[in-house]
């Protein structure tokens, strides 16, 4: 390239984004590392690791000899991601904060800030691929993160690079160690977006007041036990119900107004299985799907792809008909549509 393209790479302090930055340097880009400070608040029993992550990212930037800076997105992250998640759980649905983080923070706010700062493009350590504003699954099917990216716009994808999209996760560790990157052996974060290793329930308890309520057998309305907050339960959940003995029970529904959780011991209970999904807030990356055409849909990260067709009679609320019934589909989750390896887009499951 005659003039080096300036790329701002999101560096979280993990091995994926560290190797992404290293590969971009080797490929001849003018690279700047950016740590997005999205959350720094400690919670009871949980110390936010942002300072350690920031220092790890900076250490790798020094190793690579690239510029490094921090963008403080805490206010926007709280409003666009955390409040969205809390509101969803209060309504009794199961939202996905990682998807909203990508839509509002990484591929909107970060992109806009980087471009205003002089960048030509951005990069992240996601396991996905993009070409000409289209999104494709990553080569590593066990690590593929395209599900979380379906609400990213085509314009944003045209200004984005995913250096790890053609790599398998085990090779990322190998390549990072070969380069001596400071984060090569660092454990992957399993928490909420960039908050860290804290579970959803532990996090929600700091922001939501809950009251005990009844756990009811949905087949005969017998009260089987008591829960400590209906919002903590999701469709298909088996563990954590506190009603042991006999056959296992599964959550099949909730009544947020009455603060009741409904369960069933019947694995074939109709309320556990879904043949049709209505989705709201649809987002199509490039092309609107065609009716009466076979596609595949995924309703959770790492979930199996299921054959389906789409009805667009109401473009604002498409209907997805499944070839085979799906178990434990919850409102608030995302239904993401694939055409082979390409991600067409999707929407939020409003009811099933």
DSSP designation for 43? B
Establish whether 48 is a catalytic residue. Answer: no
Query: Which residues lie closer than 8 Å to 343 by C-beta, 6 or more apart?
Result: 135, 136, 137, 146, 147, 149, 150, 285, 336, 337
Establish whether 193 is a catalytic residue. Answer: yes
Query: Exposed (0-12), middle (13-18) or buried (19+): which is 187, by Cβ within 10 Å?
Result: exposed
Catalytic site residue from 101, 152, 230, 349: 101
Please state, in angstroms and rounded to a whole number, the distance separating the CA atoms of residues 221 and 234.
19
Please state, in angstroms and rounded to a whole number, the distance separating the CA atoms of residues 203 and 41.
11
Please state, in angstroms and rounded to a whole number, the distance separating the CA atoms of residues 136 and 133.
10
C-alpha to C-alpha distances, 297 to 118, 152, 318, 323, nearest whole angstrom: 38, 17, 13, 10
Please state, in angstroms and rounded to a whole number, the distance separating the CA atoms of residues 77 and 227.
30
Best CA proximity match to 66, nearest among 215, 181, 205, 237: 181
What's the token pair of residue 270? 């109709």
Please state, in angstroms and rounded to a whole number, the distance separating the CA atoms of residues 163 and 184.
16
Q: Give the chain's length.
A: 352
Catalytic site residue from 7, 64, 184, 193: 193
State whether residue 345 is helix, strand or coil: strand
Best CA proximity match to 176, nearest among 317, 12, 15: 15
Number of H helices, E strands in the chain: 9, 17
Active-site positions?
Answer: 101, 193
């Amino acid at each position: 390239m005659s003039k080096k393209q300036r790329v701002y790479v999101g560096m979280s302090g993990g091995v994926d984004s560290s190797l992404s930055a290293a590969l971009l340097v080797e490929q001849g880009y003018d690279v700047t590392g950016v740590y997005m400070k999205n959350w720094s608040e400690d919670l009871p029993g949980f110390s936010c690791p942002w300072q350690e992550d920031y220092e790890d990212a900076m250490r790798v930037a020094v190793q690579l000899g690239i510029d490094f800076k921090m963008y403080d997105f805490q206010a926007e992250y709280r409003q666009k991601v955390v409040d969205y998640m809390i509101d969803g759980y209060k309504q009794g649905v199961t939202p996905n904060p990682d998807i909203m983080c990508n839509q509002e923070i990484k591929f909107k706010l970060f992109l806009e800030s980087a471009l205003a700062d002089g960048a030509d493009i951005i990069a992240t350590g996601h396991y996905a691929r993009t070409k000409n504003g289209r999104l494709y699954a990553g080569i590593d099917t066990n690590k593929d993160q395209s599900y979380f990216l379906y609400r990213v716009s085509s314009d944003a994808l045209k200004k984005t690079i995913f250096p790890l999209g053609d790599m398998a996760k085990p090779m990322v560790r190998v390549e990072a160690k070969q380069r001596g990157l400071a984060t090569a052996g660092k454990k992957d974060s399993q928490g909420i977006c960039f908050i860290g290793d804290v579970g959803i329930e532990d996090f929600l308890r700091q922001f939501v007041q809950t009251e005990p309520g009844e756990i009811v057998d949905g087949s005969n309305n017998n009260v089987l036990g008591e829960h400590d907050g209906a919002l903590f339960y999701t469709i298909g959940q088996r563990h954590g119900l506190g009603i042991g003995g006999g056959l296992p029970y599964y959550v099949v529904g909730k009544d947020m107004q009455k603060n009741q959780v409904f369960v069933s011991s019947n694995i074939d209970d109709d309320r556990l299985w879904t043949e049709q999904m209505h989705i709201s807030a649809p987002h199509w990356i490039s092309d609107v799907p065609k009716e009466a055409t076979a596609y595949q849909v995924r309703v959770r990260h790492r979930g199996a792809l299921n054959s389906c067709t789409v009805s667009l009679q109401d473009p604002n609320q498409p209907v997805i008909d499944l070839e085979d019934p799906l178990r434990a589909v919850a409102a608030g989750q995302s239904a993401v549509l694939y055409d082979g390896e390409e991600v067409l887009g999707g929407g939020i499951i409003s009811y099933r």
